Structure 1
Amino acid sequence: MQTERDLSVAKRKKMFLVTPALLLLLPWISVQAVAEICRGTHCFGADTGDPRPCTGARCPGSRSSRPPRQHEPTTHGRAAHTVSGQHHAHPGSPLAAAAARMRAPEVLPAGCPDAECAAAGKQPQPSNDTRDCRGIECRLPPRIRPRVRARSCVGEGCGSEESASQLPPVHLSDRAAQFLGDFPELGYPSSELGGAPLGVQLTCDITPGENEVPSEDALILHLQLAKGQEKLVEALRAQQMVIRDLQQKLADQQEALLSQQREILDQQRRMYEQMDVVKAQYGLLSDTVKQVSFQGLQGELQSYFESHLAGLQSQARSHLQKSYAVHKMDMDSKAMDVVGEAHFPQPLLACPSACGREEFCDFQRDPPQCEKCTMCPPGFFLISQCSPTADRMCQDRDECLEVPNICGERVKCLNTPGGFRCLGVSEREAVMGFCGPDYFYNQELQECQACTDCNGEPVSAPCAAATDSVCGRPSQVRLSRSWGASVGVPPASSPGGHIFPGLQLSIRGKEKVDLLSNEAGQVTFLQHGLVWLDHNFAIKHSCRNFLQVGMRLNGSQEEEGGRDLSGVRIEQPDGKYYQGVSVSSGVEVEPDHTLALLLRSPNQHCNQSKDLHLYEVAAPSVSLLWLSHDTGAVAMTAQMSLLTHYQTSYRPTFRMTSVSDPYMVALTHDSRGVRFTESGVVKFVLQQALYSMGHSCIREGFSLIAYVNRNGTGQEALQAFKAGVNYRDTSVTLSGAVGVAGGDALTFEITSPSQCNTRYFGDSSGISVLSLIWVPSAVSSALSATVSRAGLPSGAVRNKPLSFQQIGADSPQVGLARAGEPGSRRNFVFREEGTANVALNLKLIHSCNIVKVTLQRAGGQGGQAGPVAQQVSGAMPEGSEWASVGLRASFPVQNGTAVYVTLDCVRGRVNQITHEGGTNISILWVAV
């Protein structure tokens, strides 16, 4: 403490040594500054207090006498506050006395006798007075306001601008005050303590606080920004108006475009209608013209040939003997070769061989060939008979001319080829016999046609009011037939042969029928009709990814083209076990159409000789059901839309690819189902390819459900179960037969676990397809059943028959054996001859290495006992709660034929079989 006190005293002593020198300088500085303020005779008087008139550059009223500033405002203001506010000396102190002595010898400027003149001559302090400003100038600081022009000055005191510019600075007192402010010991006490103010009082030209204003640059920038914002707002408003106008114009143009498009569509529709009318009229006209022209042309050719035939034959013989060429001969306005060159002999105006009976030589062909004579169709009459060189000529009978009132007096008659049409007559009146004798009403042409004349042949069916006569002996017309065969994998061409992109399975049928031929491992159809195909396939493979088994129409694996009917994917197994799948499809076939079974691999990592092991079943693995067009059946095929869904419930959307009769079978309005116009039985199959991710997929699996929607209510018809996979490609499939009424719709739904991410997809190979055949109720029936709750087999099951319980309505052609009958609750007995198709789905829990499901035919009246179809499945997938196995087959039945299903477990036991939700059997019967 003592040391700090000593240092403070020493510091004060040094400051007191400097202060007297400064105090001696202050009076001289003040006298010099004041002396320069006012000079001349017009300065303030010394004796009186009233000021005298003062003129000149150095008078207080003149702005030109103000010297330029030589310091920064910030420093000046800080010095002023320091001196006036904090460093006032005490009145009784030595500093105060020294300051008084410094102020006492104040020297007045020349020409000013007293202090008031000097005070008046001091430079005025700037102020914020706005009485002398106008407009925007009032917002500017006083130091940057525009200077007012100096008033005129007359007299001796007025100095020149040159002398004013050379005046010394008048702010030395400010510097002294700033210097004194740096030493607190030299100040005076504040006025609040009773002290006197410092002799040199310094003030700031800009008072901080309310009087502070921004610099001139910032203010100008602020004004410019304000004006720029106003202009920007105005420009934006103008642009908004322009945008509104453009939007309105665009809306008007769009409306006009839509109206033009509607007009174009209406015009196109009217044009198509007019084109249809013109086509119909042109068809009638062209038929009439062709008949007339053809008859006239044939008559001319007939007479021409008969008149010149002998001459032409003699000329031909002479030309052949002489071996020179007769180049051309004009015949019926046509150039035609009658002889060849000598080195290229050919018959002239003659067929290679003599034509037989009811044949003529057609010279219009090159070379001429024998053709059968044309038979006059119904409604035509004979003009000339068939000859060896000319065909038979026929003329259409004009019924409207022969019978004037054939359509009545008020109805107009229109002649048509082979018949006539009564304009304005309804179909009902025509069917009731309006056409008259020897004519029937053709519903397709909607006109009356002449009945067919059998010309001495036996008549199978006479002509009726709405049907034509049928010629020939009555024969047994078969409505349905069936055929079965086994399938094998062809031998590998090389030891390391790969099956990519696929191989054709070998179809080996034992039964030879006139319906088809089985050659080169494929089937060739010999008759047209509708065909339902089923293939039970069991294989064990170690190929990467998956295998795909499918059906192709009109094309083998090596041939390009063809049509893929269906396909099912067999996923890559986690272990080595057999997997059984069933592939089905319905299609319309024509003679010479071929069917092939294909097995494909998506990559080259599948060796045919090492990775494929086909299970040889004890029954035919492929079967087909053929339906004649006389049954009135309709076939339809539709593909699923290529959409990706990750939903627990998925309803597929269909896109129809083919249908034989769109009136009877069509898609619903939302394309999620198939609607039927009349009642009947529907045989269907749905195959959907998918990719799943998640362990819950394996545990719970997938379910495919079919619904029959009737009067807005959906009722479950059939259901199939498929064990799930994780990060694998697989397929779910469901096949069965259900009865439908007129207006019913068939829809489908696929359910998956909530934590299972599933992607549904498809392509052109038929892996995601819906195929069905609708058969009228008059020639078909259906029956559905499920496994009975009582007597379900469990434990070590060895070829044990399954008991069933019928669901749905009874069928007069097939039924489940009742109590008291042989094979009660297990046998399905047929009561009428026909062709049957069976689809079985079984959902169970087991530990068997191999599970076999066999459809057996019982002995007795139905024929010889034996297996009809069989399907094999391996061990349950690891982590799955349920497994599934099923089979599909078609076979002929007689009155009294009985079939039943047996279950066989090899090296293991059956734990549980569910009686609902995946276990069912459906049977379709079609008359023969």
Structure 2
Amino acid sequence: VIQPQHGGFTQAVGTDGTRRTNPRTITAEVFHPGCAGGTCPTTVSHRSTSDDSATRECKGIGCKLPSRMRQKNSKLCVGDGCSTQGDDGRGSSSPVHVTDRAAQFLDELPDSRAWIQLTCDMKPNNEVPSEDALVLHLQLSKSQEKLVEALKGQQNEIKELQSLLSEQQGMLVNQQREILDQQRRMYDQMEQDRDECLEIADLCGGQQKCLNTPGFRCQGMTEREAHSGMCGHGYFFNSEMDECQACNECDGQTTVSPCTITTDTVCSGHSAGHSTLSQSWYGDVTLQGEKGHVLAQAFPSVQLHIEGRGDDLVSIEDGRLVLRQHGLVWLDENLSVSHGCRSFIQVCLRMNNTEGSEGRDLSGIRVEQREGRSLQGVSISGVAEVAPGHIMSLFLRSASHHCNQSTEGLQLFGPSTAPLSLLWLSHDTGAVAMTAQAMVSAHYHTNYRPVFRTTSTSDPYVVGLTHDGRGIRFAESGTVRFVFQQALYSMGQACVSEGFQLLAYLNHNGTSMELLRAFKPGVHYRDTSIALSGAAQVGPGDTLGFEILSPAQCNVRFFGDDTGISILSLVWVPAAISSSLSASVANTGLPSGAVRNKPLFFQQTSPQVTQMELLGKGSTDQRRDFLFRESGTASVALDLKLIHSCSLIKVTLLRRSDSEVSGEGPRLVPVAQQVAGQMSEGSHWASVSLRASFQVHNGTAVFFSLDCVRGRVNQISHQTGSGVSVLWVSA
């Protein structure tokens, strides 16, 4: 493109044919038409006609270029007849000959001062940057990397500062909450406070002066006098304030620990808010009828009525338990029943999603027929993921309609404490609930390893079945509470005399270890159930399996259906907020003979944990008390294998207060109880099981006692079949 421009001269751009010339942009100047060649002077007043070789001054475009790029030879070829070869003979492609035609074009223009600029951009395809440019590029890259690293470091510091600030803010908020709670308690004490010194005459005796406080204080009262019960009924001695204070009342809440001489009442005090991880509830179970009897009638199905106080966790409607919070629920029922049915009766735990919806059985236990209508103690447990509005109910079902031939029909024995207990776990715990049904076996067996299929699980990644279905595998560390119950039918007298054993194994790193073992007296040509419940620590890759051992001359058939008679129920809790403890019955100090409320002694078989322990040597209650060090919810399972002649055998779980009333011994509060009758005829051993969940706090101590009514205890097995396991979950 040639563009005319008005000015004192003209320019053209091209290459000069030398190596030092920039090949991208080269400019050639074209002047007045009278001038030929690129070496004309910048003015047109004197036209040069001589070709003096001595004149080597700067002329034309050479003056426009830097000194290192000027042409060494000022003689340039002019005209069309010029050769493309340069003076140096190296064949450069300089387009300087264009100036002749440019000059002819300028002769035709009216303005002789017009000038033209020619621009030629030439870019080689394989251009390589110079060494200086490479060095500069590398330096810039390193500088950018250092800058990025510095920015990342600053960002990390900012994140650390933000986390520290968040922690400090959280601590400050907690401190403010504690201060507000203390102020609220002080205001409450001031509004409910009464002047005991004026209301109660001679409260501190004639020689001591009574001082009114939020409670009251006797001037000069010693701690020994306080421990002797000087504060009186309804008051406890606060050692921090050195005064007597009124015991707290658990309005609408569960009493975890009653008021003692030196400690206040401990209430459940748990709301179903986000901070509550676990909670417990307990209630009673009765039969509708006169004194717990269902008289002379066939009962294909009878509902057991649940009774108890409703709270923010559950409510009672028409003898059923209605859940009011999302979460996981573990339920235990200790039932003592006698019946005159020709076949077995079945205890069923059922859940309905809502009112009127189709429900499903979570668990089922068969209670066999016995001659002489002996009282039988059974325990049933189940687990489920629940939501507000879900309904739990208990039923008794009969296998036939031949129960009306009994004069008394069906009877429940009322224990001294609530037989139904419930453990609730929030979804915030990260706990997992799973149920698996044992497959039906059409053949008769002696030793039997059940194969399961999953019926429900809240997280199949954490808890699931092994590839062969014979075990439950765990993907993360935690604590499990499980129960496996299997319905069976057996034939042979050896079944009755020797009975059955149900074992639980934990496989860790390829090594199988027996966890627990339960015993069940056998039956001949009858249906019954065997069950095992326990708790244990598990790690990633561990598996849990079961095996049922039967006598060699005993033929056993194992059943399974959708009524929960052959089902595994399991709940897994992360290790950060849970722990477990296991212990076997000690081989020394076992109660025998005419046993009346004798404590059971144990020896711990699991590793030590910080949340609880079995008191050992050096304690007055060694090998008897299970002591809790942190607040939370505990779930226990006890199995006893023994020989006795008692008409009634009772196992009771008791909470012991940490102070004693002068001359009266420790205050004991029953937590749970199981009652069983006489041993089945022909059996060498009997069994008793007890399961319960309850709230604990720092200092809570519990123990088990054994009571024999009209008879004697001959032997308690301390080798197999007798033991206790405890699951603890943070509150």
Cα deviation for residue 561 of structure 1 reads: 2.0
> Are 1:495 and 1:609, in contact at CA under 8 Å, matched by a contact in 2?
no
Aligned-partner Cα distance in 2 for 1:901–1:475: 33
**What does residue 871 of structure 1 align with?**
674
> Are 2:294 and 2:409, in contact at CA under 8 Å, matched by a contact in 1?
no
**What does residue 702 of structure 2 align with?**
899
> Are 1:665 and 1:677, in contact at CA under 8 Å, matched by a contact in 2?
yes
Aligned-partner Cα distance in 1 for 2:155–2:498: 65
Q: Within the alignment, does 1:792 sit opposite 2:590 as a pair?
A: yes
User: 1:16-52: per-residue Cα shift (whole Å, max 9, x none)?
Assistant: xxxxxxxxxxxxxxxxxxxxxxxxxxxxxxxxxxxxx
**What does residue 578 of structure 1 align with?**
375
Instruction: Give 3-state SS (helix, strand or coil) of 1:610's partner.
Output: coil
Instruction: Give 3-state SS (helix, strand or coil) of 1:697's partner.
Output: helix
Cα deviation for residue 477 of structure 1 reads: 0.6
**What does residue 473 of structure 2 align with?**
675
Between 607-616 and 500-509, the greater mean CA deviation after superposition: 607-616
Cα deviation for residue 560 of structure 1 reads: 6.9
Instruction: Give 3-state SS (helix, strand or coil) of 2:408's partner.
Output: helix
Q: Measured at CA, do residues 797 and 494 of structure 1 come closer, stay the same or move farther in structure 2, by a change above 3 Å? A: closer
Q: Within the alignment, does 1:502 sit opposite 2:502 as a pair?
A: no
User: 1:664-689: per-residue Cα shift (whole Å, max 9, x none)?
Assistant: 01100110010000111000000100
Higher strand share: 2
Q: Measured at CA, do residues 459 and 905 of structure 1 come closer, stay the same or move farther in structure 2, by a change above 3 Å? A: closer
Aligned-partner Cα distance in 2 for 1:494–1:795: 33
Instruction: Give 3-state SS (helix, strand or coil) of 1:819's partner.
Output: coil
> Are 2:432 and 2:572, in contact at CA under 8 Å, matched by a contact in 1?
yes
Instruction: Give 3-state SS (helix, strand or coil) of 2:670's partner.
Output: strand
Aligned-partner Cα distance in 1 for 2:598–2:337: 24
**What does residue 830 of structure 1 align with?**
628
> Are 2:333 and 2:421, in contact at CA under 8 Å, matched by a contact in 1?
yes
**What does residue 504 of structure 2 align with?**
706
**What does residue 619 of structure 1 align with?**
417
Structure with the greater alpha carbon radius of gyration: 1
> Are 1:536 and 1:582, in contact at CA under 8 Å, matched by a contact in 2?
yes
> Are 1:833 and 1:893, in contact at CA under 8 Å, matched by a contact in 2?
yes
Cα deviation for residue 865 of structure 1 reads: 2.6
Instruction: Give 3-state SS (helix, strand or coil) of 1:527's partner.
Output: coil
Instruction: Give 3-state SS (helix, strand or coil) of 2:623's partner.
Output: coil
Q: Measured at CA, do residues 544 and 433 of structure 1 come closer, stay the same or move farther in structure 2, by a change above 3 Å? A: farther
Q: 1:725 aligns with which of 505, 523, 528?
A: 523
**What does residue 769 of structure 1 align with?**
567
**1:808 is aligned with what amino acid?**
S
**What does residue 596 of structure 1 align with?**
393
**What does residue 463 of structure 2 align with?**
665
Cα deviation for residue 516 of structure 1 reads: 1.0
Q: Measured at CA, do residues 546 and 786 of structure 1 come closer, stay the same or move farther in structure 2, by a change above 3 Å? A: same
Cα deviation for residue 916 of structure 1 reads: 2.1
Q: 2:690 aligns with which of 887, 890, 894?
A: 887
Cα deviation for residue 861 of structure 1 reads: 6.9
**1:699 is aligned with what amino acid?**
S
> Are 1:701 and 1:721, in contact at CA under 8 Å, matched by a contact in 2?
yes
Q: 1:642 aligns with which of 437, 440, 462?
A: 440
**What does residue 736 of structure 1 align with?**
534
Cα deviation for residue 766 of structure 1 reads: 0.4
The aligned runs of 1:353-368 (5 Å cut-off) are none
**What does residue 908 of structure 1 align with?**
711
Q: Within the alignment, does 1:924 sit opposite 2:727 as a pair?
A: yes
Q: Measured at CA, do residues 562 and 794 of structure 1 come closer, stay the same or move farther in structure 2, by a change above 3 Å? A: same
Cα deviation for residue 555 of structure 1 reads: 7.3
The aligned runs of 1:77-226 (5 Å cut-off) are none
> Are 2:634 and 2:694, in contact at CA under 8 Å, matched by a contact in 1?
yes
Cα deviation for residue 496 of structure 1 reads: 6.0
> Are 1:648 and 1:751, in contact at CA under 8 Å, matched by a contact in 2?
yes
Instruction: Give 3-state SS (helix, strand or coil) of 1:742's partner.
Output: coil
Report the RMSD for the aligned CA atoms in angstroms.
Answer: 2.7
Cα deviation for residue 594 of structure 1 reads: 0.4
**What does residue 137 of structure 1 align with?**
none
Aligned-partner Cα distance in 2 for 1:589–1:606: 35
Aligned-partner Cα distance in 1 for 2:491–2:273: 59
Cα deviation for residue 633 of structure 1 reads: 0.3
> Are 2:520 and 2:530, in contact at CA under 8 Å, matched by a contact in 1?
yes
Instruction: Give 3-state SS (helix, strand or coil) of 2:562's partner.
Output: coil
Instruction: Give 3-state SS (helix, strand or coil) of 2:450's partner.
Output: coil
**What does residue 578 of structure 2 align with?**
780
Q: Measured at CA, do residues 560 and 615 of structure 1 come closer, stay the same or move farther in structure 2, by a change above 3 Å? A: same
Cα deviation for residue 598 of structure 1 reads: 0.6
User: 1:432-463: per-residue Cα shift (whole Å, max 9, x none)?
Assistant: 999x99xx9xxxxxxxxxxxxxxxxx999xxx
**1:580 is aligned with what amino acid?**
G
Aligned-partner Cα distance in 2 for 1:884–1:737: 19
> Are 2:504 and 2:547, in contact at CA under 8 Å, matched by a contact in 1?
yes
Instruction: Give 3-state SS (helix, strand or coil) of 2:445's partner.
Output: coil
Cα deviation for residue 589 of structure 1 reads: 0.4
**What does residue 654 of structure 2 align with?**
856
Q: 1:516 aligns with which of 311, 314, 327?
A: 314
Question: Gapped runs of 5+ residues in structure 1?
Answer: 1-429, 441-457, 461-473
Aligned-partner Cα distance in 2 for 1:821–1:797: 24
Aligned-partner Cα distance in 2 for 1:506–1:629: 29
The aligned runs of 1:65-76 (5 Å cut-off) are none
> Are 1:687 and 1:769, in contact at CA under 8 Å, matched by a contact in 2?
yes
Cα deviation for residue 857 of structure 1 reads: 0.6
User: 1:624-678: per-residue Cα shift (whole Å, max 9, x none)?
Assistant: 0000011110000110111223222100000001100011011001100100001
Q: 1:477 aligns with which of 260, 265, 275?
A: 275
Question: Gapped runs of 5+ residues in structure 2?
Answer: 1-151, 163-171, 175-271, 661-665
Q: Measured at CA, do residues 787 and 433 of structure 1 come closer, stay the same or move farther in structure 2, by a change above 3 Å? A: farther
Aligned-partner Cα distance in 1 for 2:299–2:566: 21
Instruction: Give 3-state SS (helix, strand or coil) of 1:748's partner.
Output: strand
Q: Measured at CA, do residues 917 and 489 of structure 1 come closer, stay the same or move farther in structure 2, by a change above 3 Å? A: same
- Larger RCO: Structure 1 or Structure 2 (Cα < 8 Å, ≥ 6 residues apart)? 2
Q: Measured at CA, do residues 753 and 521 of structure 1 come closer, stay the same or move farther in structure 2, by a change above 3 Å? A: same
Aligned-partner Cα distance in 2 for 1:764–1:752: 25
Aligned-partner Cα distance in 2 for 1:653–1:498: 39
**1:679 is aligned with what amino acid?**
S
Q: Percent identity?
A: 56
Q: Measured at CA, do residues 655 and 433 of structure 1 come closer, stay the same or move farther in structure 2, by a change above 3 Å? A: farther
Q: 1:486 aligns with which of 284, 290, 314?
A: 284
**What does residue 608 of structure 2 align with?**
810
Instruction: Give 3-state SS (helix, strand or coil) of 1:580's partner.
Output: strand
> Are 1:687 and 1:731, in contact at CA under 8 Å, matched by a contact in 2?
yes
Aligned-partner Cα distance in 2 for 1:808–1:679: 16
Q: Measured at CA, do residues 433 and 630 of structure 1 come closer, stay the same or move farther in structure 2, by a change above 3 Å? A: farther
Cα deviation for residue 500 of structure 1 reads: 3.0
Aligned-partner Cα distance in 2 for 1:649–1:497: 40
**1:734 is aligned with what amino acid?**
L
**What does residue 384 of structure 2 align with?**
587
Cα deviation for residue 501 of structure 1 reads: 2.1
**2:718 is aligned with what amino acid?**
H
